[in-house]
Every structure is written in structure tokens, then in C-alpha cells.
Amino acid sequence: MLRSPFTFLRGSSGLMAHDLATAPNTGIRVQACGDCHLLNFGLFATPERNLIFDINDFDETLPAPWEWDVKRLAISFVVAARDNRHSDKEARAIAVECVRAYRERLRKLSKLSPLEIWYDRMDAETIIAMSPNAKVKKNREQLLAKAKLRVGEYLYPTISSEVAGRRRLIDQPPVLFHVYEKEFEHRVQLALQVYRLSLPDERRVLFDRYRLEDFAVKAVGIGSVGTQCFVGLFFSAENHPLLLQFKEACPSVLAPYAGKSVYENQGQRVVTGQRLMQSSSDIFLGWTQGERGRQFFVRQLRDMKMSAPIEGASSAQMKMYAELCGLTLARAHAKSGDAALISGYLGKSDSFDQAIGKFALTYADQNAKDHAALVAAEKSGRIKALREED
């Protein structure tokens, strides 16, 4: 979080939730992402092995006012644009483009049936067809082709090796490392039993075709610091690999302001929210609970997952990406919320778009001040920051 205002933004979803909760809202609730910034969108594979673009992070998901997601997403584009040294005029235009896409897409979705909305998705063909010119089309085709190679079968040889006739995950501290405790393996087996029961019956049959080969701790991202995460390496009888990630689920940062989740297990909250918001979800999505009370959600570690390269992106590139994110968020909200009611509030003019663009700039200023305060506190010794090498 110390690195830049953008990394600070990514790690301070709880702070922004507090700030957004103090502002007026329409009272219209949807299944909200809760941490809706531009890097929490990306490519991944559907169970049918098609590549789609969608929201891909649901650690903070909870029913909440739809405005909170829209504002956080628009703010993230302004902060990222500044990080790329674009002018405030350009940054605001990018945020406005994101909100415009959201507003106009929501209006179209409000005219569809609930079933048509659930079937709607942003697939690879659609993304390529939206390319404004041949250069962009070629870049998108290359990115999509690269994403198709990011699967477990390609990943596991790079993070595992054979030790005494057994495939083991390679220790790469602090990114990946084993826990050598007497009761650890026993706790893992108990957690797997709970996870198995969270799967639909037909997925249990599939999961039962794999055996656990190794289990290790994995480092978490900026927004999940302080939580636990594990990687499980599994093999079928024919030695086909499967990599599952077990990520700790804590109460949503939105809960103090939007209300407590109806689910006792926070992993179930995450999984249910993900299934509600995504157009298609991982077949191995499930949840479990550790012996010491920690709760987790489970998913494949890598299944054609890839985020757009934002660092160094031009203003035009960020504008196109903002459009994709706005379109995607509209569909995600329409699945659980009243698209017609929200669309009626937004109207046909760009008044809302411009208002959020202005708000995003103002909040980006506050975010920069908060980041500067954190940096100053670390330099003065008021707080201690542990570096990755520590």
C-alpha cells in the first residue's frame, strides 16, 4: 500500500466503504462486488471452456447499494490514470466513459427478461468484435490467445517437482512454502471433507476422481494481507493435475454499513455472491472451515485467468477498458437488482456520468492525501511496514 496511491486504493476497500456509506444513496440494493476496482475484472474460462470477461474478485461481496460499486470503479480509473501520468482531464473522461457504458447497458438490460440477463455474457468473440480498429483487434486476439494457455496443466510443472517419487510444490518463500506441523495434514483432510460437502452432488463425483498430493501456503494479494491462503495439488488416477486455491474469507468490509451476511460461513457468502454476479463460474467453487474456526472459499488456482495490462496504458486504451468494465458491472448488477428502477433513476442524459466523473476526481485527491499520510507515518516510525523480503 505504501508504493503508490493506486496500491493504497486497492488495499483500502474498508476505508472507502466507510466513506461511501456516509453519502446519500437511492436505497436500491444489488449483490455488490464490494471491492470493485479495475484490476478485479479479467478473463477466465467457463465450464464449457469458452473465454469470457467478467468480475473476478468477490472477497467483499454483499447485498448493498449499487452506487458503491459504480463509484469505487470510477475512482479506481482516475487513480490508475494518474498513476500512468495522464492529466486530470483525461482521467475524468475515462471515468465518465466507464459510467456511461454502465448506464446505457443497464437501460438495454432493463428491457430483457430475467432469464435473458442471466444468459448474457461478454465472451472473447464479443470483445474482439468491439475492437475499434485492426491494431486493437490484433492486440486483443494476442491477449486472448495468451489467456488460453494460463491453465493448471501448464502452471503445475513450473511450481512443482518430483521428490522421492512424489510430486511436491516447490518452496518459494515468501510466495509459496510448506507448513511442517504435526497436525497440519490432519487439519487439511478435515477441511477437504467440509469442502466436498459444499459441492453439488455431481461435482462431488468429479472431485472424488482426484487425490491430494501436496498442500502449501500461498502469499495473498494487496487487498488480502493478513489472511491465510493455501494451494492444493491434486492428481487423477491417470495423473492429470488439478490446482485448487483455498483462500480465507472474512466478513465483508461492507457489513458494518450494509448489514451482516445471511451466511454464517463467510466462504459461502463469497461463493454465493460470485455465482450471483458472474455470467459463469468455476465448477470447483465451494467453501470450507478450518479446525481453528477460519473460513475459506475454494476455486481453481488458474483457469485461463488474466487481467488486462493497465500499467503504462495510454488514455485511449484505458478508455476502452473502462467501457468493458462498465458494461460488465451493469450486467452483474442486473442479475440480482432491479435494472429498470436503477435505469429510471440514471435517465438518458449524461448528468450522472459527469457527476460521478467529478466525484471520482475529488475522491482521488483524498485518496492521495491518505496515501501520503500513511507514507509519513511509516517514515516517522509511528507504524512499521514489513517488506516482502521480511
- Contact between 103 and 71 (Cβ < 8 Å): no
Given pLDDT bands bounded at 50, 70 and 90, which one contains residue 149? confident
For cell 479446525, name the residue: 291
Cell reading at 121: 455474457
Distance (Å, rounded) from C-alpha 100 to C-alpha 127? 18
DSSP string, 309-374: --TT--HHHHHHHHHHHHHHHHHHHHHHS-HHHHHHHH-SSSHHHHHHHHHHHHHHHHHHHHHHHH
Strand partners, 177: 217
Given pLDDT bands bounded at 50, 70 and 90, which one contains residue 332? very high
Q: pLDDT for 108-124, tens place per residue?
A: 999 999 999 999 999 88
> Does 309 score more than 60 pLDDT?
yes
Domain ranges of the chain: 5-148+308-380, 152-300
User: Which residue did the predictor score with more confidence, 201 or 222?
Assistant: 201
Q: pLDDT for 252-304, tens place per residue?
A: 999 999 999 999 999 999 999 999 999 989 999 999 998 778 999 999 987 55
**Torsion angle in degrees (nearest 10) through CA of 249, 102, 24, 78:** 80
Distance (Å, rounded) from C-alpha 86 to C-alpha 101? 21
Q: Which of 137, 70, 88, 76 is nearest to 327 (CA)?
A: 70
pTM metric for this prediction: 0.91
* Distance, CA of 299 to chain centre: 12
Distance (Å, rounded) from C-alpha 364 to C-alpha 376? 18
Distance (Å, rounded) from C-alpha 79 to C-alpha 102? 19
User: Which residue did the predictor score with more confidence, 362 or 389?
Assistant: 362
pLDDT exceeding 70 applies to what percent of the chain? 94
Give me the pLDDT at residue 230, please.
Answer: 93
Strand runs (DSSP E) across the chain, as ranges?
29-32, 41-45, 51-55, 62-65, 122-123, 160-163, 166-169, 176-177, 210-218, 229-236, 241-248, 286-289, 295-300
Distance (Å, rounded) from C-alpha 248 to C-alpha 299? 12
